[in-house]
Amino acid sequence: MPATHNPVCKAAESLSLYIQQPPQTDNRDHPETRLMSELFYNAVPNATRVAPPLAEPRQYPSEKPSRVYLFGTCVVDLFYPEAGMDAIHLLEREGIRVEYPQGQSCCGQPAYTSGYTEQARTVARSQLALFAGDYPVVVPSGSCAGMLREHYADLFKDEPQTLKQVQALAERTYELAEFLLHVCKVQFKDSGEPIKVALHTSCSARREMNTHLHGRELLAQLGNVERVEHDHESECCGFGGTFSVRMPDISGAMVADKTRALKESGAHQVLSADCGCLMNINGSLEKQREALRGQHLASFLWQRTGGAA
């Protein structure tokens, strides 16, 4: 785009003129010059300066269901199977039957965020066929839950029939902590020793599912657990799926910042509801030969409330 048609470039050009030739009188007599507040206020369109309206609060069912699907995620399946099993234990303790379709794999997020739309659509389509029942889909990962709820609709926006199926799936998809808190309405009793923990929430889980709020509320029910704040809490750990492979130096710098903040927080343990982040953070801590480690929130909750250690 030519610079003369770019509002930001035009603003910079006007600012340069303003600095080099300051007006000698009120700028209203010199239309070629403007006040800085006016200049920057109009430098870009309103749509890029105004936050989008907040979504309506989610409406939760008044009673917990008798049956749910568990979407286990590929990272849980391959690297943290205990997190998936502990999620099942937590749900079954609430009297809920958990169905685990054996054909499930990835949600398609790595391909989607890397720009491979067709491949992501193929993966997503195969998952849709496995969760055809009308009962809730519970996901022990805020980022994968966000993919199902927020981004499948974009993948299938040009397929009306599939889009209806995707929208119905979105309505019944819940992140695990969200489901325990707002649908099961759990009231946990802590059976562990006093401990300080730091809660890390993945970027997409925070933005799309408010997972950090759900996790905080569940931890607040545990009398012997102190959640400590840490610097860089809302910042990315540097994983970002394929980002950590494509940009290893930047990713490494980000996880160095994250682990340093976690160590300085005084936490005895790190918790997260996203295993991709845990894999990255734990890998960095192990490389640094630090004793601090991260654990999935589901496993921590199960152990603290009477489950096997």
CA dist., res. 93 & res. 103, Å (int): 25
Neighbours of 145 (CB within 10 A): 30
pLDDT digits (tens, 9 = 90+) for 52-93: 676 778 899 999 999 999 999 999 999 999 999 999 999 999
Q: What is the pLDDT of residue 250?
A: 86
Residue 21, classified by CB atoms within 10 Å of its CB into exposed (0-12), middle (13-18) or buried (19+), is exposed
- pLDDT at residue 242 is higher than 70: yes
Helix (H) or strand (E) holding 22: none
Q: pTM of the entire structure?
A: 0.80
Q: What is the pLDDT of residue 293?
A: 96
Percent of the chain with pLDDT over 90: 61
- pLDDT at residue 121 is higher than 60: yes
CA dist., res. 279 & res. 295, Å (int): 10
Instruction: Calculate ∠ Cα 299-106-136, nearest 5°.
Output: 65
> Which residue type, as a one-letter code, is found at position 106?
C
CA dist., res. 47 & res. 137, Å (int): 35
Start-to-end CA span in the chain (Å)? 61
Beta strands in 15-108 (DSSP E): 67-70, 97-99
- pLDDT at residue 274 is higher than 70: yes
Percent of the chain with pLDDT over 70: 82
Neighbours of 169 (CB within 10 A): 21
Helix (H) or strand (E) holding 196: strand 195-200
Q: What is the pLDDT of residue 287?
A: 93
CA dist., res. 131 & res. 137, Å (int): 8
- pLDDT at residue 229 is higher than 80: yes
Helix (H, G, I), strand (E, B) or coil at 199: strand
Instruction: Please report which confidence band the pLDDT of residue 49 belongs to, taking 50, 70 and 90 as the band edges.
Output: low
* CB 44, CB 10: distance < 8 Å: no
More confident position, 135 or 35: 135
Residue 138 structure tokens: 């519970």
* CB 214, CB 138: distance < 8 Å: no
CA dist., res. 93 & res. 142, Å (int): 22
